[in-house]
Structure 1
Amino acid sequence: MGKAQPHTKNTKKSKKTKAVQPAAVATEPALFTPITLRGMTARNRVWLPPMDMYSAFACDGRPTDFHYQHYVSRAMGGFGLIIVEATAVTPDGRISPCDLGLWEDGQIDAYRWVTDGIKQAGAVPAIQLNHAGRKGSTGCFAIGYDGQTVPADKGGWRTVGPSDLPFGDLQAPRALGVDEIHGIVHRFRDAAWRAMTAGFEAIEIHAAHGYLLSEFLDPLINTRDDEYGGSLANRMRMLVEVVDEVRGVIRDDMPLFVRISATDWAEGGWNADQSVELARTLKDHGVDLVDVSTGGLIDGVTIPVKPSYQVPFADRIRAKAGVPTTAVGLITKPRQAQKIVAHGQADAVEIGRAALRDPYWPLRAAAKLGVERARIPYPPQYLRGAW
């Protein structure tokens, strides 16, 4: 594996983050007003969330032609910010062998054409950094073993977690030692530096959906009795250390996001009150936005899925923690998304599965909401087909 270049700690005082209020035109829908976080400005509040594509078919962590086409087409479709999928900070931090990765310097150049293409299309390139923890080494459409642990002779590996409790029928992980925790924290830092060097303009730390950092947060998963387990402060410790390391190595004008599951939907587990407290702590440590999702931590729980079902969590964290949030979860219609932003329930919305069906969802939504044609970010080559 490549060795990261020396990193210089950023000692500048962090700037206060301000979410730009809708102001450009009185009648402009809130969904299509710009938003500024530190030195980054996104042209609108319709963002593409990180969705795993499992398409690094060489199992080397590097993006392919598919990734370029996938992400740049959504940027051309009018999204304001593109969050590239969960990208592993270590080889054994991948969800599947076909995940993207930034665990060595030799992977940096493979991302440059993706970030350049996104910028040329008018969107902001962001990336989500992840360690899969006990949910790693699973199969996908490209290699089989879907929903199962990939055997070692087929490219799988032994997973790790805060404790040795397995997720569902996946293999049981090995509990991490304290020195190993510190090592993974440093790998997040190094991957963030590589992402910045590759041209990404925002970093998101993945602390949701039952992957490693969220496993440490959840009392039903984390049964440790050392400084990384027990109390809420101890369970937050690893994530806060990751935030501090990443915030210290990226540019001061570069925004830092954290994605969380606001609840695990299980009695006695991670919940909205703990999420508010976590968001307050993250804000104090230089996080500029909390990307609010739910679930994925505990196998077999019932989740009340319906349109906008996760929006109340984003609303609550935004109001009680005083930090910008994004909302996700079955947001599919333009007026639905506009209402969320206009009513202050979140600062941006993320359009996921609907964007897989329609890469040009923002352009269509802008027309439906009455945005002047001249203000809709059509590629000039596509103006003849404008809605």
Structure 2
Amino acid sequence: MPSLFDPLTLRGVTVRNRIWTSPMCQYSVLDHSGVPNTWHLVHLGGFATGGSGIVFTEATAVSPEARISPRDTGIWTDEQRDAWKPITAFIEEQGAVPGIQLGHAGRKASTWPAWGFEGRTGTVPASEGGWRTVAPSAIAFEGLDVPQELDSAGIDRIVEDFRAAARRSLEAGFRALELHAAHGYLLHQFLSPIANRRTDEYGGSLENRARLLLRVVAAVREEAPEAPLFVRFSASDWTEGGWDEDQTATVAAWAEEAGADFFDISSGGIQAGIRIPTGPGYQVPFAQHVRSASEVDVSAVGLITTPQQAAEIVESGRADAVMLARELLRDPHFPLRAAHELGVEIDYWPPQYLRARWR
């Protein structure tokens, strides 16, 4: 089995190790323009100098109405594209692969940001910068407004929004792309029977519920034939009658046939009030199941906090890589520390930091 610090090559893009920065919402576009700023440069750049193999952006909206909140980043305009360029250039200069997560929040869009508006929850009204949300069915997420059910023209438009976002992402310098089909956002809403009650070709059977995702995978692959393409899944809705790990494994295999290369396995998010039993590496079994059942490459995420734990996940074959989020917020240089603790020699310490290298 590979080790945590073995490189991995996907479609000609070589990633220096198996410790990757997971997408993390920042809600830091304070002017609501979707244009990334110096916060995003410093935030993402720190993970690159810290040794991550791939540095993924937060969920970046493919259209204005795709944003989770008015403060999200976007990639639907050329101005946004150009603002990403110095960020991707810096990440790549540090030896990491710049990756972008492309997302559409669906019925969970137009919400108040997680910080800066204490006491404000639910849907942001139009009078304060919000908008009407869309979804596979007119079923509200708890505490949010009822979304508008998408018609066939609206679905076609979303596919084209992802296609255009992929093109701009490549022009911005991103070398890896990820589709966000997890955490209760639009592509996950179509997959899950909890949010999708349609009776047309996009609802009912697993094939129908997966149709939009597979169309988006194919469209992005057409637009980006040489870029590694990731899909993030929630492998379980953690509720009876919802999306589960077996459906995830099946659709992952279909997505691979449609052009996806790698699968980022998380869980949850389709509905509020679900009690998820958490603990160290609590989502790793989902990644292991999808990897085994569908024979695709996967990453694991979820309370992975020590170098030894991360190494065991990869070296045991349960996943091909690990995605870190909160642990990297606590220690952006986790990969450098992990190499030291695991006794691995690496050659990508920033020269400016060599005086601090453990001996």
* TM-score interval (norm. to shorter): over 0.9
Counterpart of 1:272?
245
**Structure 2 Cα separation of the partners of residues 350 and 147 of structure 1:** 29
Tell me the distance in 2 between the aligned counterparts of 1:165 and 1:247: 31
| Residue 384 of structure 1 pairs with residue 355 of structure 2 | yes
Q: 1:146 to 1:129 in 2, by over 3 A?
A: farther
Match of 2:42 in 1: 69
Aligned residue number for residue 284 of structure 1: 257
TM-aligned CA deviation for residue 383 of structure 1: 0.8
TM value normalised by structure 1: 0.91
Per the alignment, in what secondary structure is the counterpart of residue 115 of structure 1?
A: helix
Q: Which structure 2 residue ranges, 5 or more long, are not aligned? A: none
Q: Quote the offset at 1:149 in angstroms.
A: 1.0
> Which residue of 1 is the match for residue 180 of structure 2?
206
User: What secondary structure, in the 3-state scheme, does the structure 1 residue paired with 2:101 have?
Assistant: strand
1:227 aligns with: 201
Cα distance, 1:103 vs. partner? Answer: 1.1
Hey, what does 1:295 align to over in structure 2?
Answer: 268
Verify: 1:356 aligned to 2:335, yes or no. Answer: no
Aligned counterpart in structure 2 of residue 162 of structure 1, from 125, 136, 140: 136
Distance 2:120 2:50 in 1: 31
In structure 2, how many angstroms separate the alpha carbons of the residues matched to 1:361 and 1:126? 19
The answer as to whether partners of 1:138 and 1:146 remain within 8 angstroms in 2 is no
Match of 1:138 in 2: 111
- Aligned to 1:86, the other structure's residue is in SS state strand
SS at match of 1:138: coil
Residue 221 (structure 2) pairs with residue 239 (structure 1): no
Q: Which of 57, 60, 85 is equivalent to 2:58?
A: 85
Compute the displacement of 1:107 (Å). 1.7
Alpha-carbon distance, 1:143 to partner: 4.6
CA deviation map 1:301-329 (0-9, x unaligned): 11111110100110111111111000000
State the match for 1:106 in structure 2: 79
Q: Distance in 2 between matches of 1:146 and 1:192?
A: 33
- Alpha-carbon contact 2:35-2:79 (below 8 Å) kept: no
Equivalent pairs: percent with the same residue? 52
Q: Secondary structure at the match of 1:87?
A: strand
Q: Which of residues 11, 17, 36 in structure 1 aligns to 2:9?
A: 36
1:231–1:302: structure 2 CA closer, same or farther, 3 Å change rule? Answer: same
- 1:45 alignment partner, one of 18, 38, 46: 18
Q: CA deviation at 1:146?
A: 4.6
Distance 1:174 1:57 in 2: 27
1:209-235 alpha-carbon deviations (Å, 9 max, x no partner): 000000000011100000100000000
- How many residue pairs match? The answer is 357
Q: Is the 8 A contact 1:81 1:126 kept in 2?
A: yes
Q: Is the 8 A contact 1:366 1:376 kept in 2?
A: no
- Measured after TM superposition, the shift of residue 106 of structure 1 is 2.7
Distance 1:275 1:298 in 2: 18
| Cα distance in 2 between the residues matched to 1:145 and 1:346 | 39
Structure 1 33/180 Cα, relative in aligned 2: closer, same or farther at 3 Å?
same
Q: CA deviation at 1:376?
A: 4.6
In the alignment, the residues of structure 1 paired with residue 70 and residue 119 of structure 2 have an alpha-carbon distance, to the nearest angstrom, of 11
Q: Distance in 2 between matches of 1:266 and 1:327?
A: 21
The Cα shift of 1:286 comes to 1.2
Deviations 1:217-266 (A, max 9, x none): 0011100000100000000000000001000011x321100001000001
Paired with 2:246 and 2:296, the residues of 1 have a C-alpha distance of 15
Counterpart in the other structure of 2:308: 335
**Segments of 4+ in structure 1 off by > 6 A?**
none
Correspondence 1:185-204 to 2 at 5 A: 185-204=159-178
Give the superposed CA RMSD.
Answer: 1.0
